[in-house]
Amino acid sequence: MQIKSFQINMIKKLTFIFLLVSTLFAQTNIFEQFSNSFADIAEEVNESVVTITTTNTVQMDRDVQNFYRYWGREIPDEYESKSLGSGVIVDDENAYIVTNHHVIFDERSQKPVEEIKVQLLDKRIFEATVIGLDKATDLAVLQIEANDIKAVDLGDSEAVRVGEWVIAIGSPFSASLSHTVTAGIISALGRNDVMNNLNTYQNFIQTDAAINPGNSGGALLNMKGELIGINAAIASGGGRANAGIGFAIPSTMVKKVMNDLINKGYVVRSFLGIYMQDINEDLYETLDLKTRNGAIVSDIVDGSPASKSGFEEGDVIVSFEGKEISNGSELKNLVSSTDPGSRVKLEIYRDNKKKNIYVILEEREDIIASTSNVNYEFGLLLDNPSEDLINKYNLNEKNPSNIQGVIVTGVEENSPAKDSGLEEGDIITRVGRKKIYSTKDFLTEMSKFDDDSKVLFLVKRGASSRFITITR
């Protein structure tokens, strides 16, 4: 009996050891596979991520100069400013690159930087041309003249979930650290109002993958190696380094903005025509609301889609095309990304009763005012009239609405625009024989001309106007 009992115990122990070893072996295989998946993605996508270096001439502040001169020191009138960022190749046939607006735009001069160079993984360096800019989403599209490049696959950011593993690739701090790969998880979705003065349309993916200065414009990837976001910002607690809170622009937004900039030169956005505010506890109690989610209509723009559809002040919008909304920022993003002319259903609470309202959205005409649009065929940077531009160029008109045309805010050296005599502060009032009133009009009329054709401009400078011709 003792021998038999001993045999049984031995069998149990051997079985346990076998299962333990098998489990450990299986776990080892799982960990190895998991590790290899990260390595495979990095190896596959790294060549689609680029390092962007910019150079810009900055005028020294006059007060700073006077301060140093007071103490007997002379400093230069201008200096070169260099900065670093990242980008992602999204089209290998046309060599289009997506990056952040703030990577290649100088806020002091309100122009793109003078020189943009793109370095690939294989160390090739190319000078980049700006195709389009959108400050409202902090996105920009560049183009290089390069062959043998690889574009990243675009993923669906709407399908990602909190807790998913992600990989970030970019060039933190210095070009010598290019193509740095970090990993983390998706910490949250739909973050808005988290970065001051960054952009207007905020719908960030939050991640704890290490993102540092220089990573801006780089790739955020899912475990399929697909692009689900463009890294844009960090929350560092007052420092420069990563603190485990980074933000990326979702790929669905990137795709729309990118396609609009490439195909139209500006971003098409719809508008509803309401002023709204989020629901706080005071409003919830005072208005005796049935929900804490949604956006309260505080005012309605006359003649807007909302006014035509019967919206009233105090309406609480809780869903857009069947998708529940938690705040006004979310609603704004949904409206702006929907094509103008679309008939959409909004669910509202009015007097605490649910009601559906159908609205035909219209194109927002003033959105280009927040975005400088570039036509580098001629070396022109144009913008819609604004009080800031009127003051900057000492224009005769005091009210932007009195200016018919678009204002030249930049002219590239050695460009057709420069050769024609165009200067900053000039106002282009006609393209061909068509009057223009916005940068959108300018781009629409330019699209009607074939390559190598001559384009007639009517240009106002001061109190006089003259015609100039530039070959497209």
**Residue whose tokens read 């700006």:** 130
Active-site annotation holder among 48, 86, 102, 187: 102
- Cβ(128)–Cβ(140) below 8 Å: no
How far is Cα 368 from Cα 269, in angstroms, rounded to an integer? 10
How far is Cα 93 from Cα 151, in angstroms, rounded to an integer? 9
Active-site annotation holder among 86, 101, 138, 187: 138
Strand pairing report for 180-191 and 129-134: unpaired
User: Does the annotation mark 216 as catalytic?
Assistant: yes
Please list, in sequence order, all residues whose beta carbon lies within 8 angstroms of the beta carbon of residue 262, skipping any fewer than 6 positions away.
96, 131, 132, 141
Of the candidates 167, 168, 154, 84, the residue with the CA atom closest to the CA atom of residue 119: 84
Query: Phi, psi (5° rounding) for residue 285?
Result: -80, -45
**Residue whose tokens read 């024989």:** 433
User: Does the annotation mark 383 as catalytic?
Assistant: no
Active-site annotation holder among 48, 86, 178, 216: 216
How far is Cα 240 from Cα 278, in angstroms, rounded to an integer? 32
Q: Long-range contacts: 452-459, Cβ < 8 Å, 24+?
A: 455/431, 456/430, 456/431, 456/432, 457/428, 457/430, 457/431, 458/428, 458/429, 458/430, 459/422, 459/426, 459/427, 459/428, 459/429
Query: Phi, psi (5° rounding) for residue 18?
Result: -60, -45
User: Does the annotation mark 102 as catalytic?
Assistant: yes
Instruction: Just list the catalytic residues.
Output: 102, 138, 216
